[in-house]
Structure 1
Amino acid sequence: METTAKTTITVEATINAPVEKVWKLWNGPEHITKWCQASDDWHAPHAENDLKTGGSFKTTMAAKDGSFSFDFGGVYTDVKENTLIAYKMEDGRTVSVSFIPKGDTTEVIETFDPESINPLEMQRGGWQAILNNFKKYAENN
Structure 2
Amino acid sequence: METANHTPITVETTVNLPIAKVWESWSQPAHITKWNNASPDWHSPYADNDLRKDGRFKTTMAAKDGSVSFDFEGVYTDVKEHELIEYTMGDGRKVKISFSCDGDQTKVTETFDPESTHPVDMQRAGWQAILDNFKTYTEKNF
Please classify the TM superposition score into its range, dividing by the shorter chain length.
over 0.9
Within 2, Cα distance between the matches of 1:124 and 1:140?
24
User: Does residue 117 of the first structure (1) align with residue 112 of the second (2)?
Assistant: no
- Over 4 Å off, 4+ runs: none
What is residue 20 of structure 2 aligned with on the other side? 20
- Deviation per CA, 1:77-124: give whole Å up to 9, x if none: 000000000000000000000000011000000000000011100000
Q: How does 1:38-117 map to 2 (within 5 A)?
A: 38-117=38-117
Within 1, Cα distance between the matches of 2:94 and 2:6?
12
Asked if the contact 2:6/2:114 (under 8 Å) is kept, the reply is no
Structure 1 unmatched runs, 5+ = none
Across the two proteins, how many residue pairs are aligned to each other? 137
- Deviation per CA, 1:15-67: give whole Å up to 9, x if none: 00100000000000000000000000000000000000000000000000000
Provide the alpha-carbon RMSD of the alignment.
0.9
Structure 2 unmatched runs, 5+ = none
SS in 1 for 2:75: strand
SS in 2 for 1:40: coil
> Aligned letter for 1:55?
G
The two structures have a TM-score, normalised by structure 1, of 0.96
Within 2, Cα distance between the matches of 1:84 and 1:33?
21
Within 1, Cα distance between the matches of 2:66 and 2:46?
14
Within 2, Cα distance between the matches of 1:84 and 1:133?
20
What is residue 139 of structure 1 aligned with on the other side? 139
The two structures have a TM-score, normalised by structure 2, of 0.95
Asked if the contact 2:56/2:74 (under 8 Å) is kept, the reply is yes
Give the Å deviation of 1:6: 4.6
SS in 2 for 1:140: helix
